[in-house]
Structure 1
Amino acid sequence: MDLSYDSIESDADLIEWSRAYCRTVRRERGVSVRFDLVDWEVSHRAKRRAAAVKRPKLDGAIVGEPFDWESLDGSDGRPLRCTVSLTREAFETFDRDEWESTLRHELVHVEQYQRDGTTDHGPAFRERAAHLDTDVHCPAFSDPKYVLTCGDCGDLVARRYRDCKLVDERESYRSNCCGASLELT
């Protein structure tokens, strides 16, 4: 890696460093990913996700069952391209260990997608994430606009970054912990 982590300034730098780090993880930890089928971008709008793998939805794709890529019309048997979208605000908020963990998390998604045609956070993901020493969910990096808590015990029920049905109709929902109404804090 020619570019040091501390010298990342532009979106191009962020992509270059992140891509190089992911290639190192692939080599050192045996992650089965074809980077020639992965595009990279940086988001300046995302508030809930530190990064994401954008991919087409494929009918019949199930995590844990290798996808028959040749079954797609015009396919040469290679997986379709996907895009790793990195969130600039998350990068600027996280320390290096958190950012590297985020990238390993996304590598699990790319690996699942390229093999199975889909990805999720189910048991196979959790097992692979543990092997790569990463979390199933990335830490929050921005403050939500709405926080919903249990009306009885005050436990966190949900964070929302924009208005939605849960926020608008919160009086018709109940918490899982106590069955109490939800409060907006």
Structure 2
Amino acid sequence: MTGKAIIFHGTDAHPDVVWLPWLREQLTKRGYAVEAPHYPALNVEPISRFLPKVLANHTFDENTVLIGHSGGAALLLAILQHIDTTVRQAILVAGYSTKPNTNDEPVLQDDYDWAAIRGHVRDIYFINSRNDPSGCDDRQGRAMFERAGGTQIIRDDGHFGDENQAYPTFPLIDRLID
């Protein structure tokens, strides 16, 4: 079964960093229609103003797979809360639902409707690392997992890529996507 995959980059990033281009290629080979938008205002503009723009730029249905890294994973929580359909999968890599460090986090909502989030995704995965230098660690993953259910995967892989950590491929994500 194929469908559409939408891959959201993290804060201060773009669709051509770390494992994102590799995953686009893998999913395209498998027959997915892949969207990898560039959102420079991600985690800069308040979520209340940013989210409507994101929702207007994409369509979501039962064959949609959402993947987000870091700030893009935090964005997935808002998307899942506010869409009016159930998507097939959501994979939040180095995601968080509360401030992971001292940086401003405009991508975060003040609170979340966890029942709505869970109701809008068939399978949700939280992939976090115990040694994430940005604070998007296993405790952040556990907090989301306890509220939304799904599957939590804990690794020791830093931030799964950023300017100081090369992470050109991510086979685990490719295997998780059905």
Same fold (TM over 0.5): no
Larger radius of gyration: 1
More helix by share: 1
TM-score by length of 2: 0.26
